[in-house]
Amino acid sequence: MPSHHQGRSAGEGRLLRANRSIAERDVACVIHGFTNLATLEEKPPVVITRGQGIHVYDEAGKEYIEGAAGMWCASFGFSERELNPKEAIAQFEKLPYYHSFVDKTTAPMALLAETLVAVAPEPLTRVFFTNSGSEANDTLVKIIWYYNNARGRPDKKKIISRINGFHGLTVAAASLTGIPLMHAEFDLPIANILHTDLPHYPRRARAGETEEAFASRMADNLEGLILAEGPETVAAFIAEPVMGAGGVITPPESYFAKIQAVLKRHDVLMLVDEVITGFGRTGNMFACETYGITPDAMTVAKGLASAYQPIAGVLITEEIYDALITQSRKLGFFAHAFTTTGHPVASAVALKTLELMAERDMLSHVRRVARRFQERLASFGDHPLVGEVRGIGLMGALELAADKDSMRPFDPSHKVKEHLRLGAQERGLIVRAVSAGESLAFAPPLIITEDEIDAMFDRFGAALDDTLSWVDREGLREQIG
């Protein structure tokens, strides 16, 4: 029997492509991440062709408010001329590419590193650039293992993450991620990666347990895990200040103070994943400031260049950097890099992004409009389909529930969350249906205005009411989830 994918001549291939739409070409050739690939075969993707401010437009000209800033990242929206293409073109004309291997550097990378260290939480002093948050967290795992080898502690390698935490999708980063769907059939997690409690107070607290007591229990459980494994084998604990893909889970009161006390007792490093929360999302430059976290290392991405160019980074302390120097003397060099580490065009755009944040006082703007954002988000708390609302700054989520009192979820097969996401999209609003649980998340561009916040939530409210009508018509709240 002939193969379904028989070869075609070059002429035939060109003819077929000429007769197909962009969506058809996409379905025929592209592998989409975080997508039901079988469903995509039946319903082609929306083709986004341009952006303006907080809006994007599809090939038919339909306007959408981008309520998730693309992927938590387009801080300056989709048409900032100071970043795109002005800054990129200027660097392209001077030097479109060079590497940072051995003894070479470029001005944009050096200046970006200097600027980033100047605004980073203490005691971070050094930066290694990568192309994505996943690469940054993978790099961080390697650095921590390398660091402990340099210190003569070859057994101190375990890294503790959290259930429902998200740290990326490369091999080590996906292992740190605590969402089972990210591990299924990929043979993950790898060795030396452990997971501790999800600190979601409203959902995980015991009857009558105060927020303070809950935070203490989370810290005690972490300490119990460290002791059970042996502190001499545990290298680090990693956490997002706010758990993004896990459903915008904000930490309970005093949680990080208690966690850091445990880590200090057992000489375990505090690794902070600010890939989503960094660069103003919570109202401070970094969420470490928002929650009083002192990092031993930190990863950044997304808002670093407003996603106009792919760039991310790992920031470490001088103590950890000294170990890299020690190993370099011993081995001859630090054997980790990427071809496009610190790419000059990406670095130039990121540097301009940080300059714009300062020039336009974006942190003050975020703090001002975040009040309206959180008020409108909280107003959905009384809706019959909403079990919980949570957020901080310009990020938030609401969690759907079939029964508000018990927080009983809908049967996943009914796809209520997906119905709501698509209903919002039909009304010109793009929101994130997060991977963990029945939550939908908002994280609009930081440039959003109060009027635009109202427009965003008005569209969402209409979709939510429509979803309620559909749920009641189908009797979905009466069925046990």
Q: CA nearest 325: which of 143, 174, 58?
A: 143
**Cα gap 143→320, rounded to integer Å:** 8
Residue 99, number of CB atoms within 10 A of its CB: 16
**Cα gap 100→339, rounded to integer Å:** 8
pLDDT digits (tens, 9 = 90+) for 244-268: 999 999 999 999 999 999 999 999 9
Domains, the chain, in order of start with CATH, read: 46-79+362-478 (3.90.1150.10), 86-359 (3.40.640.10)
Q: Is the pLDDT of residue 5 over 50?
A: no
Q: CA 193 → CA 173, 222, 249, 276, 407, distances in Å?
A: 10, 14, 22, 22, 31
Check residue 9 and give its pLDDT.
Answer: 55
- Sheet of 312-317: strands edge to edge? 124-130, 312-317, 297-300, 269-273, 234-239, 158-162, 193-196
Report which secondary-structure segment, H or E, holds 270: strand 269-273
pLDDT digits (tens, 9 = 90+) for 186-213: 999 999 999 999 999 999 999 999 999 9
Residue 445, number of CB atoms within 10 A of its CB: 26
Confidence label for 19 from pLDDT (cuts 50, 70 and 90): confident
The mean pLDDT of 14-18, rounded to a whole number, is: 59
Residue 197: partners with Cβ closer than 8 Å, 6 or more residues away = 162, 163, 204, 218, 221, 222
Total residue count of the chain as it appears in this document: 481
Rounded to 5 degrees, φ, ψ at 227 are -65, -40
Q: CA nearest 395: which of 72, 46, 6, 5?
A: 72
The CA angle 155-186-276, to the nearest 5 degrees, is 75
**Strand locations in 153-245, DSSP E?**
158-162, 193-196, 234-239
The mean pLDDT of 444-456, rounded to a whole number, is: 98
More confident residue, 43 or 134: 134
pTM of the model: 0.95
Q: Which residue has the tokens 């003894």?
A: 103
DSSP reduced 3-state for 412: helix
**Cα gap 255→479, rounded to integer Å:** 36
Check residue 480 and give its pLDDT.
Answer: 52
Q: Are 323 and 147 in contact (CB under 8 A)?
A: yes
DSSP reduced 3-state for 398: strand
**Cα gap 291→106, rounded to integer Å:** 35
In single-letter form, the type of residue at position 453 comes to I
Strand pairing category for 297-300 and 269-273: parallel
